[in-house]
Structure 1
Amino acid sequence: MNVVFARALETCRYHPALPGTHFQWEAWDAQDNFFFLRYKSGVGTVDALKDNDSWGQNEDDYDRVVQFDTGRRNESILSLDEFCQRAGIQLAPAARVVKLE
């Protein structure tokens, strides 16, 4: 798999005091294909939107690109760099990355 992200936007950040929070990003490659990244309870997933013209509101709108398991069930935070490394995907050297503040 040769996925290189040109842009990434953090949409959810894990917080131990807020149950249900997790690592979540939206990302786009250079061809403007959309990807949804999630890491929760030691499991990471990358899903690709099947059709960029759809809203992507349903699971059926996505194809699973990769899934990995760190075995760390009590963990829901991972840096974007480590997530990409574990998923076997890359951030472009000049990728635009926007994090929540």
Structure 2
Amino acid sequence: MAKLADAYDYVDRHPATVMCAMPGTGWQTGATPSRCVIAPTFTGDRGSAFTLVRVVRTCTAVPSQWNAWTGDGQYLYLRYRSGIGTVDAYDTEDSTQWTRIPNGEIAHFDTGDRLDGEMDLVEFCERAGLHLADDAEVTGE
């Protein structure tokens, strides 16, 4: 996960407030409030750390979401709902084991359309700065 996070330069990280457009706005886990990430700027090479080799669509719309794995085995949770796309990295796809709420720690984009919750994988990857391998194993798309 650190390898992926290092590829982004976070301009601002602050506790989420009602003014933030993040899905986790105002949520709190234990004593740690959710964090809002503003304007992630891709600074890495769109290479191995961001190349998806396996993707499983887990929901087709509202939200559109996928479980994905990179070439080095990193699990990523991809989600698009209410015009907001987020990418988060976890050690496992079992959400009951996650220690934080998905908030776009790796990537975040906003289309501005709060009524939209449907997107295909190719468009999601383009908007999030992820690369889908030519020979990726894609299920459910």
- Closer/same/farther in 2, CA of residues 67 and 59 from structure 1, 3 Å limit: farther
Residue 48 (str. 1) matches residue 48 (str. 2): no
> Equivalents in 1 of 2:52, 2:131: separation in Å?
6
Structure 1 SS opposite 2:69: strand
Gaps of 5+ in 2: 1-43
Give the deviation of 1:64 after TM superposition.
1.3
C-alpha distance after superposition, 1:20-77 (max 9, x if no partner): x31010000111110000000100000001x35x844235286710110001111100
Matched positions, count: 92
Match of 2:73 in 1: 32
Q: Percent of aligned positions with the same letter in both sequences?
A: 37
Corresponding letter in the other structure for 2:71: A
TM value normalised by structure 1: 0.80
Higher strand share: 1
Structure 2 SS opposite 1:36: strand
Higher relative contact order (CA 8 A, sep 6+): 1
TM value normalised by structure 2: 0.59
1:92 is matched with which residue: 115, 128, 133? 133
Match of 1:11 in 2: 58
Match of 1:60 in 2: 100
Report runs of 4+ in structure 1 exceeding 3 Å deviation.
none
Give the structure with higher Rg (CA): 2
C-alpha distance after superposition, 1:72-93 (max 9, x if no partner): 1111001100000000111001
Gaps of 5+ in 1: 15-20
Aligned Cα root-mean-square deviation (Å): 2.1
Residue 77 (str. 1) matches residue 118 (str. 2): yes
